[in-house]
Amino acid sequence: MSAPRPTELAQLAGAGLEVTESPPGSGLPDGLALARPRSEEEVSVLMRLATQHGWAVTVRGQGTKSAWGPDVERCDLVLDTTGLNQLVEHEPGDLICVAGAGMRLSELQELTSRAHGYRQRLMLDPPGSDAATLGGLVATRAAGPLRTRYGTMRDLLLGARFVLADGTIAKTGGKVVKNVAGYDLDKLLVGSLGTLAVVVEVALRLHPQAEARESVLLEGVDSATAAKFLIALRAAPAVPSVAEALWPEGAVLVQIDGTRDGAIRQAELVAELDPRARVLDLAEASYWEEVLRNRPWDRPGVVLGVSVPLSATRAVLDLVADTAIQEHAVALSLRGTIGCGELRVAASSDKVEGVRREVERLGGQVEVHRAEPELRGLGSRPRDPLAGELMAAVKQALDPGHILAPGRLEGLYQTAASPIAGAAGG
Amino acid sequence: MAVTSLALRRQRLTFAIGAVRQNLARGPVALPQPLAYDARMASPAATPDRALDTLCSELREIVGPSWALTGADDLRTYECDGLTGWRQPPLAVALPASTEEVARVVRLCHRLHVPFVPRGSGTGLSGGALPSADGIVIGLSRMRSILQIDLENERVVVQPGVLNLEVTRAVQAEGYFYAPDPSSQRVCTIGGNVAENSGGAHCLKYGFTTNHVLAATLVLSDGRIAHLGSACLDAPGLDLLGVLIGSEGTLGIVTEVTLRLLPQPEWVETLLAAFPSTDTAGEAVAAIVAHGVVPAAMEMMDRATIQAVESTMHAGYPDCGAALLVELDGPAADCRSLFQAVEELCRAAGATEVRVARDEAERALLWKGRRGAFSAMGRVSPDYYVQDGVVPRSRLAGVLAGIRELEQRHQLRVANVFHAGDGNLHPLILYDRKEAGGAERARELAEDILGLCLEAGGSLTGEHGVGRDKMCQMPRLFSVADQEVMDRVRSAFDPHRLANPGKVLPTPRLCGEHPGIYRPHPAELAGLAERM
């Protein structure tokens, strides 16, 4: 069960598999074997070996989200997916593409927006994640402001190929938008943090890029005004791509994509919702775009995903405003018409637990998106312990040896008070 | 962790895979036979008759005598769903009125090892609600209350027997709607929609049931009650709700559902364009997509469908080779110019006529033909079978040409009506079951059409589900390993295989003799024999 030396692993896996030591600066322990398979067959061979030897495997893309979710209990080798980075298919007429899970988001955007005669892309914009891999975005369900209109990977993933802990190669879904054949295991993979399977290939739904974008800003307002504006926006004759409440600025930024005339007309209608709101010119729009693209990842601190019922929007903004007075660390980017976003707080368990308690009191929940290892397990748990038990059963069914990111999934559903029997495996 | 237990587990797994391989060698299909399925019969404690008596009397106790049906006439009502070709009366039908009653009925089933089949309105088209001969049906039609309407949070909580259209009706005066709109929306239930992950004509833009459910109460096959999801987005942990939706009643029974509502679009406009052929109409579809438009709906009907619709319901469709119905919705500011563009693209692709609905009544008339296409077909042909396949949109023309060839080969007519935007085809195969071999030929043709869809990179089913009807076709799309993974997930929810057994995932008992896909015989591979 002891961790394999890189040379040992290379020898066992056979010719071809690239195995190195974890590079310095990667945040990984020194001397850890890092395997970089280039095909699903190589992934399968590697996982079979890991199962045979009981090696704990951490799946890793570019490592941009390695501080997301509960820390693993042990790691004997790292499976680096960046060698699985081919574009398998891009069919612009079908608005779909199929690519290796190790491909970077930025690379996919580049490839799909270039196809002749079409302007289309994957409508996902998790802040600071251009380098992130598609597989990593599946594992974390990371999203950004565009979620308001286009959803998350849950809404964009059409199918996947994956390898189970025992080396089984399987697929789910397909490459068509409409498909109800078999169980929708795509959904199970999205947000599973690499605990159920190694995703090796993904089929994704693309969307056409609009002709024009206009931005509207409401700035320097209190939580009551912002919340009222967001309620009015939900009923307004406009379909925003982005409707982000940004704190501590006390701002709401709305972005509208559409035809040239349509975007400007909608922006004007949105600006009429509050006398302080105004349509931005190009320079201002790009300044705020920059804020949007980094918030709240741009400074140190714990980043929490928060989701709340829409009726609690103002309460969440108040929570941030109150804390922000005493603390510089606090920043929020809230998708104000759908009730979710990301909040940065100081790296202390008191602060994180305080926010979680408050958000849960509002009927919402908290996920840890970036934190030191000891804080990563502080997110909300399922309210029903039986839901946690079912999660344990699914984990047990797909990874009975508990070798994929052991401890991480358990950290998502187990509570200290009521550990779930059988969750730790045999 | 003990190393031996891991080794044992692996051994068992290897054994299971071995069994699957053996089954494959015998026939095309797949998973090991569920163990608990026949356990009732094997129980030495009770003869089947006595077990049935116990079952029926306890059912009466739980739901009340008038809601436990055991008479032959009553049972016949439940012997099939919308796919009437498959029929099997159940042992009994229970019609519980609450989550607690459902849980008690299921606990009883669990104790007696009796499989159960959940059922809403029974409008499914894949035999998903087909009873098991040794099981009961649990009908959710009495659980039809809207429990909570929470417009501030854009959500409603409903019982599973609430009809799809009732949800929209309950909130439309306040400016909201529930997006999934399967064409059976007047009669189908939300519970059934959750089981099938129903879409509808507008799902290209608005998504499917899975995109509109926040939470659900699930009665597991041992009678425990689980709450999945959350009242807001991003419920903690694994997305079990995502697997539950579309699992066709095989993971348990949903007894309460929290749905998301959407504000009504400001503006809706609908046009019907007439084309000389489905190919030219297909060119218009491609051009609309290339233009970057995502219509709320885009439906195509071929000549045979148009003629049937006209002769029976007089929707006023033009006489043409293909009609394309396009609906755009959203902010007026954006849609007006896009709608103009769509009109022009249709004309450029060869539309001979473009009709724009001037008001709600005209829009309803344009949709009338589309929504009534299936029933119109029932009046022009003694029998018809609706296929439900999916092709990548860009391969539509080729697949439609393939269907025309198949019509010739099988000497049967096929009328095509489909969701052109998402490539979901509904070929209606017209036949007469009184003709010798008619039904069999129709079935072969339907399977050949699926073959075309799969060759083009599509899917077995876009919205009707696998159910019983396509269960034995699953190996055409999913490998043994793919199915085994699904089965493992199923076991996590329902280890005893009591929830709607014999659906979705093939079993050798039910599919063993099915011809399925061609696999070379070992003798062929060895060069000892060949097929003509």
B257 forms beta bridges with B158, B216
Residues of A in contact with B330 (CB under 8 A): 239
Look at B292 and A119 and tell me if their CB atoms are within 8 Å: yes
| B21 interfacial to chain A (CB closer than 8 Å) | no
A137 and A172 share a domain? yes
Residue B513: is its pLDDT beyond 80?
no
| B204 interfacial to chain A (CB closer than 8 Å) | yes
Residues of A in contact with B391 (CB under 8 A): 176
Residues of B in contact with A261 (CB under 8 A): 333, 337
Which domains, and CATH codes, for chain B?
Answer: 3-30+467-511 (no CATH), 146-263 (3.30.465.10), 267-455 (3.40.462.40)
A62 and A175 share a domain? yes
pLDDT number for residue A27: 80
Out of A350, A375, A400, a domain closes at A375
pLDDT number for residue B8: 37
A27 and A142 share a domain? yes
Cβ-contact B225, B217 below 8 angstroms: yes
Q: Mean per-residue pLDDT for B317-322? A: 94
Quick: pLDDT tens for B266-285: 999 999 999 999 999 999 99
Establish if A296 belongs to a structural domain. no
Q: Determine which of A92-106, B423-437, B510-524 has the lowest per-residue pLDDT on average.
A: B510-524
What one-character DSSP code corresponds to residue A419? P
Q: Mean per-residue pLDDT for B84-107? A: 96
Residues of B in contact with A266 (CB under 8 A): 331, 333-334
pLDDT number for residue B333: 87
Establish if A274 belongs to a structural domain. yes
CATH number at residue A353: 3.30.70.2740
DSSP B402-455: HHHHHHHHHT-EEEEEEETTTTEEEEEEEE-TTSTTHHHHHHHHHHHHHHHHHH
A316 and A389 share a domain? no
d(CA A156, CA A124) in angstroms, rounded, equals: 9
Look at B234 and A365 and tell me if their CB atoms are within 8 Å: yes
Residues of B in contact with A187 (CB under 8 A): 210, 239, 241-243, 245
| B235 interfacial to chain A (CB closer than 8 Å) | yes
Quick: pLDDT tens for B500-509: 999 999 988 8
When CB atoms are compared, the residue of A234, A266, A390 closest to B263 is: A234
Residue B409: is its pLDDT beyond 50?
yes
Q: How many domains does chain A have?
A: 3
Domain assignment of residue A244, given as a range: 212-290
DSSP A67-106: TSSSPPS--SEEEEGGG---EEEEEGGGTEEEEETTSBHH
Which of B153, B196, B238 would you mutate first to test chain A, the one with the most A CBs within 10 A? B238
Establish if A185 belongs to a structural domain. yes
A344 and A424 share a domain? no
pLDDT number for residue A116: 66
Q: Mean per-residue pLDDT for B441-450? A: 95
Where do the H-state alpha helices sit in B161-264? 164-171, 190-196, 203-206, 240-244
What is the phi-psi region of residue B352: left when phi exceeds 0, alpha when psi lies from -120 to 50, beta otherwise?
Answer: alpha
* A·B CB contacts under 8 A: 295
Nearest CA in chain A to B247: A183
A39 and A152 share a domain? yes
Q: Determine which of A106-110, B25-29, B306-310 has the lowest per-residue pLDDT on average.
A: B25-29
A216 and A204 share a domain? no
Establish if A297 belongs to a structural domain. no
A248 and A386 share a domain? no
Cβ-contact B137, B129 below 8 angstroms: yes
> Of B345, B140, B333, whose CA–CA distance to B253 is shortest?
B140
A109 and A72 share a domain? yes
Q: Mean per-residue pLDDT for B198-213? A: 94
CATH number at residue A130: 3.30.465.10
Cβ-contact A47, A163 below 8 angstroms: yes
- At residue B234 the predicted structure's pLDDT band, cuts being 50, 70 and 90, is very high
Residues of B in contact with A382 (CB under 8 A): 235-237
Quick: pLDDT tens for A75-101: 999 999 999 999 999 999 899 999 999
For the CA atoms of B449, B451, B456, B458, what is the dihedral angle to 10 degrees?
90
CA–CA min distance A234, chain B (Å): 7
The 3-class SS string of B444-477 reads HHHHHHHHHHHHCCCECCCCCCCCCCCHHHHHHH
Residues of A in contact with B230 (CB under 8 A): 307, 365, 383
Establish if A77 belongs to a structural domain. yes
CA–CA min distance B183, chain A (Å): 16
Which of A179, A279, A343 would you mutate first to test chain B, the one with the most B CBs within 10 A? A179
| B454 interfacial to chain A (CB closer than 8 Å) | no
Residue B35: is its pLDDT beyond 80?
no
When CB atoms are compared, the residue of B239, B423, B483 closest to A188 is: B239
- At residue B369 the predicted structure's pLDDT band, cuts being 50, 70 and 90, is confident
Q: Mean per-residue pLDDT for B130-139? A: 97
Residue B40: is its pLDDT beyond 80?
no
A147 and A198 share a domain? yes
CATH number at residue A228: 3.30.70.2190
Where do the H-state alpha helices sit in B147-263? 164-171, 190-196, 203-206, 240-244
A398 and A369 share a domain? no
Q: Determine which of A110-124, A335-349, B216-230, B305-319 has the lowest per-residue pLDDT on average.
A: A110-124
Establish if A295 belongs to a structural domain. no
Please identify every stretch of chain A with a pLDDT value under 50, giving residue numbers as ranges: 416-426
Q: Determine which of A144-158, A311-325, B162-176, B296-310 has the lowest per-residue pLDDT on average.
A: A311-325
pLDDT number for residue B242: 98
Residues of B in contact with A393 (CB under 8 A): 492-493
Residues of B in contact with A181 (CB under 8 A): 459-461, 466, 470, 474, 477-478
User: What ipTM describes this predicted complex?
Assistant: 0.95
A217 and A205 share a domain? no
376-415 of B, contacting A, C-beta below 8 A: 390-394
Quick: pLDDT tens for B452-461: 999 999 999 9
- At residue B315 the predicted structure's pLDDT band, cuts being 50, 70 and 90, is confident
